[in-house]
Amino acid sequence: MVRAELESLVGFKYTGDVAIRPLLGVLYEDYGLEQMHSQVVQPLKGLKVVTYYGCLLVRPPEIAEFDDLMILK
């Protein structure tokens, strides 16, 4: 299937100007801390927090098969 056929099938024309943004960035920049704070029902105060980078970030790049852009040098 060629691009024109696919675009007519789904009713969407891809222009290449899509901005990919991380979810936390959208929440912070577009939604705002005060808005999020007002929505808190059960505060997480007193909890111990740890980070989880995911198994893909700690595996060797040859195994995880990340793109060149994803590999931290």
pLDDT at 60: 72
Question: Rounded to whole angstroms, how far apart are CA atoms 43 and 33?
Answer: 14
Residue 73: per-residue pLDDT:
46
- The stretches in the chain having pLDDT less than 70 are 54-58, 61, 63-73
CA distances from 53 to 15, 36, 56, 69 (A): 32, 24, 8, 17
Looking at residue 64, what is its pLDDT?
64
Please count the structural domains in the chain: 1
Per the structure block, which two tokens stand in for 62?
């040859």
Give the pLDDT of residue 28: 93
Expressed as residue numbers, the domain containing 34 is 3-70
Helix (H) or strand (E) holding 64: helix 61-64
Closest listed residue to residue 71, CA positions, set 54, 6, 62 = 62
